[in-house]
Amino acid sequence: MRPVEIVEVGARDGLQNEKVIFSTANKLALITRAIDAGARRLEVASFVNPARVPQMADAEDVIAGLPDRNDVTYIGLVLNKRGLLRALATREGGRRGVDEAGAVVVATDTFATRNQGQTSAESIEVSSQIVRMAVENGMSAQVTISAAFGCPFEGRVDPARIVSIAETLAEAGPREIAIADTIGVANPRAVASLVSTLKERLPGMPVRVHLHNTRGTGIANAWAAYEAGADVLDASIGGLGGCPFAPKATGNIATEDLVYMLAECGVETGLSLDAIVAGARWVETILGRPVPSQVAQAGGFPEGGGTSCAA
C-alpha cells in the first residue's frame, strides 16, 4: 500500500470553534505533542480577525514559540491580503515564521459571504492572489475549497463547480489543492468520484482532502479518498473542530481514528498511534470533557489478555 501524508490541523481548525480558550502555552504543547508523535506538517494558526475567531488571537505568539525543526512544515491560514502580510511578517528579521500559507475558497455565495465577507468568485480571485504573492515572497502556498460537498445555506454543491474552481486555482501555482467537507455531508462514493476527477483533470497537482465527521461518515470518506488517489488527508487530534460560521458543523476526523484505520489496512503514515492517543487524552484535561474520537476512548487493537465474549 502506498503511504499517505497526514496534516495535523488540531491547533488551528481543531480549536477555532472551541469555547474553552487554549492558552498560547497549551497550543504550543499540543503542537509539540503532535510533532513528537510523528506529525511533520501542521496547521498552527489562523491570521484572521480575533474579534470573529477569539481562539486565534495569539497567532503571532504561537508562531514565535514554535519548535525550530527543519523537518517540520508550519501552515498558517490566511483569508485575505492582510492575513498574508501578517504571515509574511513572522519571517522577517531572519525568524523561522510560517512556512506555508493556506488560502480558502468557499464554493457557494451565501457561505462565502458569511465566512469571508465576499462572494465565491471573489474568494477565488483573492485566493489566487494570495498564492501568487506568497510564492513571490518565498513562501509555499496551498488552497482549500470549502463546502465542496454541501453548503449549510444552499444545500448540495455540483461537483462540476468544484472541478472548475480547482482548475482556475491551479493556474496560480499552489503546491496542492484541497477539497473540504466543511459540514460533514459527504459520502464515500461522492468523495471517491471527486478525487478521481481532480486527479484526472489536474495531473501532477497533489490533492488533499479535509473531512468532518458530523454525520459519522468521516473515516469511510477518508478511505474512499485514499483509494481514489488522494495524496494528503487532514485530521485533528481528538476529533476537535468545526466552523464558527457553519451551523452544526462539528469536528474534524480524529487523527487517532484515521491512523488506526490506515495502519490496520497496511498504510504507512509515520505517526505513532499511542502518542496521538496520549495527546487526545491530554486535550481532555484542558477541555474538561471527553473528546469525540473513538480510538481515544477505546485504544488501539487489543493485543491479547482480554476476555472473550460470544458474538
Q: Which amino acid is at 26?
A: N
Neighbours of 75 (CB within 10 A): 25
SS (H, E, C) the chain: CCCCEEEECHHHHHCCCCCCCCCHHHHHHHHHHHHHCCCCEEEEEEECCCCCCHHHCCHHHHHHCCCCCCCCEEEEEECCHHHHHHHHHCCHHHCCCCCEEEEEEECCHHHHHHHHCCCHHHHHHHHHHHHHHHHHCCCEEEEEEECCCEECCCEECCHHHHHHHHHHHHCCCCCCEEEEECCCCCCHHHHHHHHHHHHHHCCCCCEEEEEECCCCCHHHHHHHHHHCCCCEEEEEHHHCCCCCCCCCCCCECEHHHHHHHHHHCCCCCCCCHHHHHHHHHHHHHHHCCCCCCCHHHHCCCCCCCCCCCCC
With beta carbons less than 8 A apart as the criterion, state whether 183 and 151 touch.
yes
Report d(CA 250, CA 187) in Å as an integer.
16
Q: Which residues are catalytic?
A: 243
CA distance 233 to 255: 10
Q: Are 7 and 41 in contact (CB under 8 A)?
A: yes
